[in-house]
Amino acid sequence: MLNSDVEKIQEVKLKKAPILGADESEDEGVDLDLVNDILELSEDQYPRFTLAKNKARFLRMVSWYKNKQEWLEVAPLSGVTKLFKQQTKELVGIRSNKLDYEMELETGTLTPSQRSYRRDELKMCKVHEKMAVNLISKMQVKIKSGRR
């Protein structure tokens, strides 16, 4: 292949590459929007992260949420109420970060490495949000049933 051929191929790939990173799913694995409970996924179905720190963070998060769900079955109502308040407050922060990453990705002014980093962080926010919402909904059921 000649250099000009390689340049043309690269140029075509760049034109086809979307500028918005929020919807890209080249190596996503499972579509997070279709998953109700991330904790029910098998390990090979877990979302893939580019950054090693996010892979480790995700595994710690899965472990923490699984432990909280087990604890929820035997937890006193006062403990559930306290955790409910903490999680709902944390959810506001997660959603704020998610919105920030989505807006940054929409600008189209990021370098490829910045875009990759933001995409990875956005995926982490989506996963964290799903797990938090799932736990919060289970806590709501426990709180409502405990007050009757």
- What are the tens digits of pLDDT across the range 12-68? 444 444 444 434 444 556 677 778 888 888 888 899 999 899 999 999 999 999 999
The boundaries of the domain holding residue 72 are 38-146
Q: What is the pLDDT of residues 58-91, one digit of tens each?
A: 999 999 999 999 999 999 999 999 999 999 999 9
Q: Could you give the number of structural domains in the chain?
A: 1
Position 100 in a domain: yes
Q: Are 87 and 140 in contact (CB under 8 A)?
A: no
E strand or H helix at 82: helix 77-107
Position 21 in a domain: no
Position 48 in a domain: yes
Distance CA 135, CA 86 (A): 12
Distance CA 28, CA 47 (A): 6
Distance CA 110, CA 90 (A): 28
Position 28 in a domain: no
Distance CA 6, CA 49 (A): 29
Position 63 in a domain: yes
